[in-house]
Copies of this chain bind each other. A is one copy, B any other.
Amino acid sequence: MTAMDVCADPRALALEILADVRRETEDGPGVTRESYGAGENTALRLLETHAEEMGLVCEYDRARNLWMRLPEDTRTDPFVVIGSHADSVPQGGNFDGLAGIVAGMLVLAGLRDRYASAPPVRVLALRGEESAWYGKAYMGSLSLLGRLPAQALALKHRSGKGTLGEAMALCGVDVEAVRAGEPLLDVAQVRAYLELHIEQGPVMVARGWPAAAVTGIRGNIRHNVVRCIGEAGHSGAVPRWLRKDALLAVAELLSRMDEHWRVLLQMGMDLVMTSGICSTLPQSHAVSVIPGEVRLSFEARSQDAQTMERFYALMRDECAAIEKSRGVRFEFDEKLVTAPATMDAGWVERLKVAAARNGAATGTTNANATATATATVTGAVLEEIPSGAGHDAAVFANAGVPSAMVFVRNENGSHNPHEDMDIDDFLVGVDLFEGALLDIIAPPRAS
């Protein structure tokens, strides 16, 4: 496919790139693109090849994220970044992250074909967004902005072997610069960060929205490993009053927090709570042994930093109470905090104006608009949605870069091989970015 074909058939180009990367990173029913590992490297290499075929210039920054620009774009003044991530969770889906990079490539090529001068837009394929590999998310964007905590470099790989710093070094990252917190990109150079991503929840499918503008991104507080240490014993021979059952202690903790969560939602707070991992110790598993230790992860997310911190403090209080009543002990690994982020109101408005201009392609008209859709446009209404999941856009937003996201409708959630995005919905999202960028780039070529 030549550069000229892009404008003619962006759908075919998108399908081709997505299929190529899927094929080369397949793992069972899904794809595996390990952060700073083989699958991510493969994905970046394939993206580079496609970008070059499209006539784009590729460069890697010192955190080994991949940048794409037009050859004629040698500007030193600020530009808009359209980005997303190239990695995936183990046996995850193909669209999570990758779709946003492909969208950026299509937008850039589409603008070039339609407008006279090189638009102030560059595409960024980030590494290391998924926390599944090292228990830490947004490693690529944080490194780029000099905001990855130095101690994160010591985080162990999920296999228990090797650290994040070691994996980064193998990929060619300037680990010492990352450790020193040196910004590898001048944020003053970035006019805005835009990201297209599949929705990872079920809301847009339920409501029939092909695309939506993200208003904010939930932050999270996490412990990857909380240990509850009790005392093992024979399940028949130790009476209740002499037991220190670590599992029943954890069950009580989770039940209490679950009930608090229910109440706080009733009080109107934004909050989700998850223990994705919870297990008695496999090496001493036996039906007839009182669990002496349980390990679990803990995560709370909210759009409101205070809600998140207070719920976390409540969890620690409950642990202390259970320690006293049950004779167990809770031990916590490092507390990892990702701040919530607000998307830029100006860019949300530009996306809505673009939707109105693009018309019915967004799939919703004013007649069907809900009370929360406040856009005062005469064409299609772009609905608003908060993001429950975290995204690199939150890192840019919290570094002071005006940021915006478009969610694309997607079946079956994400982080699993069954995610299902319609390419038509994806193209609606691409068109929204192109439309929104109209405001800040040169006028169309004379026809």
CA separation between A236 and B290, bound complex, in Å? 33
Residue from A237, A255, A279, A280 whose CB has the most chain B CB atoms within 10 Å: A237
A158: shortest Cβ distance to chain B, in Å? Answer: 8
- Note all chain B residues with C-beta closer than 8 A to A261: 240
Is residue A239 within 8 Å, beta carbon to beta carbon, of the partner chain? Answer: yes
CB distance from A230 to the nearest CB of B (A): 12
Integer count of this chain's copies in the complex? 2
Report, as a range, how many residues of chain A touch the other chain: 35 or more
User: A258 on the interface (CB 8 Å rule)?
Assistant: yes
Find the residue from A265, A287, A289, A388 having the highest chain B CB count within 10 A: A287
Fill in one digit per residue for A209-232: 1 if any B CB lies within 8 Å of its CB, else 0: 000000000101010100000001
Count chain B CB atoms within 10 A of each CB in A240, A253, A390 and give the residue with the most: A240
Residues of B within 8 A of A280 (CB): 276-279
| Contact call B279/A291, Cβ cutoff below 8 A | no
A residues 316-339 with Cβ under 8 Å of B? none
A242, A265, A275 interface centre (most CB from chain B within 10 Å)? A275
CB-defined contacts of A290 to chain B, threshold 8 Å? 274, 276
Among candidates B90, B203, B262, B282, residue contacting A279 with C-beta atoms closer than 8 Å = B282
> Is A222's CB under 8 angstroms from B287's CB?
yes
Chain A positions 233 through 246: 1 when the CB is less than 8 Å from some CB of chain B, otherwise 0: 11111111010010
Give the distance to chain B from A307, nearest Cβ to Cβ, in Å.
Answer: 14
A255 CB contacts on chain B under 8 angstroms: 248, 251-252, 255
Please, could you name 12 A-B residue pairs with CB atoms under 8 Å apart, sorted by A? Answer: A201-B237, A201-B239, A224-B287, A236-B387, A236-B390, A239-B388, A240-B261, A247-B254, A248-B254, A251-B253, A277-B285, A277-B287
